[in-house]
Amino acid sequence: MIRRLGINPAALAYAMTTLGSGMINNIFSFYYVKLFLNKYQISEGAFHQSQVVYMVWNAVNDPLFGYLQDTSKVPCCSQRRLSILYGAPLYSLAFLLAWFPWRFYTPGDWLSGLHLTVALCAFDGMLTFVLLAQCALFAEISNHHQNRLRLIKYSQVASLVGSSSILFCGVLSKNMEDFPAFQAFSVLTAVLSCGCMLYTGFHSESRFDNKAPEADTPRSVDCASSQAAGSVSMMWKLTWQILTNRDFQLFVLMNFFQVFMLAFFNNFTLILTEHLIPPDVLSSLAKSVMYGAGFICPQLLVLVSQGLLQDLGYYKVILFTFYVEVGMAILMLTLGPHHYYVLAIFLTTNMVLVQAAFCLFNLPLADIIDTDMQKHKRSSPLSSMVFGTNALFTKPAQSLAPMIVLNILNQYGYEQLKDPGQNTNPSALEGLHSAMFYLVCLVPMFVAALQALAWRPFSIRNSHTLDAKYVDC
């Protein structure tokens, strides 16, 4: 039935996890910082402590889950679709933890800090377990460039639909001002998200799911002696082989900054916009549309860029986005903070470009997995380990961004000036807004410049012109 409609079943099954995770990930990353800072009134110290615990857990769980999924003989870990099938319900439940306070929080309540720590670690743990399996599926469904582009195309359509959760959530809850409506929408979103990911769990397949383990496969820990399976020394050996890949090193450096920028815009666009753009310039509804566009348009941009990806390859497209980000930041810095509509367009465009480029990062990682498999003559790829090791070094940026930005803002009085509508000292508010504007301009400018320098030496540039590197099994 699906094939009669012209839909590829494998790509559809893969994309359903993108749809489900997109619904909840975007809401979580966009609202949790404002929720805990402004509504739960967490102290800066407790916020930083939670972020440090989250940073450590966030970095460690990816390679651990990656090693587990690549080497375990337990089907719910070793088979990608089963990891998603059993992990999806827990993933959706973990999403709901943040939105329901454990009691009425007073300012600086220690329990709000514990709540944030538990919510972050539980959500990221299940996100990692499910999405690592999906990332591995990307590399293992097919090794043909065109098939991978099709997976990206389907995934972007799914992400486009999933990203609309931000738009509907903002409109229905008035950007979280109506908190009961926000909570009800979150529960509905969690249920729908779980159903989407379960579809992947029932219908997706890896080329290696039915392959018998061999002595030199990563599922038997890539060692001639099966007795070495699961050993810590073998995990370090495989990890070292990944870490010594020059292209992997360059990609990780560039990706670290990309994750930093994603966290910066996802966590603070709501706060920055409320302070820098007056409500008489952009209404609450207009801002909701702006936030929705920041999450929806990246998928549209990737979809319309399919021709460029086929003709130029992801290397040039990603590099070009860095140059554009630097140019836009210089222009905005030159114009100044009082061109409110230009500032709104600048913020939205930055969100779009950063997210759109990030959507392409599975392509270089899949190529790195292919070259690693060829170089070490593996019978099956270290897909989860490559994605997990990448996350080990890049995920800390998700915690560093809010910690650094909040520390800077509090130096200019943000903790006392959280509500832009309250009666405050005009000079203090002006100083805070000036700091916010420079953050909005200088952070993207310098980070994108560093990314361009890191990305230029990357050597896998022509995979879009090559045939498959190994035969589908």
Give the pLDDT band of residue 7 (cuts 50, 70, 90): confident
Mean pLDDT value across the chain: 85
> How confident is the model over 218-267, as pLDDT tens digits?
444 444 444 444 467 777 888 888 898 999 999 999 999 999 999 999 98
- In the chain the first and final C-alpha atoms are separated, in Å, by 25
Rank 4-18, 69-83, 219-233 by mean pLDDT and report only the highest: 4-18
8 A C-beta contact, residue 392 and residue 30: no
Choice between 185 and 77, residue whose per-residue pLDDT is larger: 185
8 A C-beta contact, residue 352 and residue 298: yes
The pLDDT assigned to 371 comes to 87
> How confident is the model over 103-148, as pLDDT tens digits?
999 988 999 999 999 999 999 999 999 998 888 887 777 767 677 7
Domain extents for the chain?
A: 1-206, 246-465
> How confident is the model over 266-306, as pLDDT tens digits?
989 999 998 999 988 988 889 889 998 888 898 889 888 88
Q: Which residues contact 145 (CB under 8 A, 6 or more apart)?
A: 463, 464, 466, 468
Burial 144-166 (b: 16+ CB within 10 A, else e): ebebbbbbbbbbbbbbbbbbbbb
Calculate the CA dihedral of residues 121, 126, 130, 136 and round it to 10 degrees: 30
Give 246-465's CATH code, choosing from 2.60.40, 2.20.25, 1.20.1250, 1.10.10. 1.20.1250
For residues 435 and 442, give the distance between their C-alpha atoms in angstroms, rounded to a whole number: 10
8 A C-beta contact, residue 394 and residue 256: yes
Would you identify the CATH topology of the domain 1-206? Growth Hormone; Chain: A; (1.20.1250)
Q: What is the pTM of this model?
A: 0.78
The answer to whether the 1-206 and 246-465 domains have the same CATH topology is: yes
Give the pLDDT band of residue 366 (cuts 50, 70, 90): confident
Give me the numbers of helices (H) and strands (E) for the chain, helices first please: 17, 0
Give the residue carrying structure tokens 């509504």.
Answer: 39
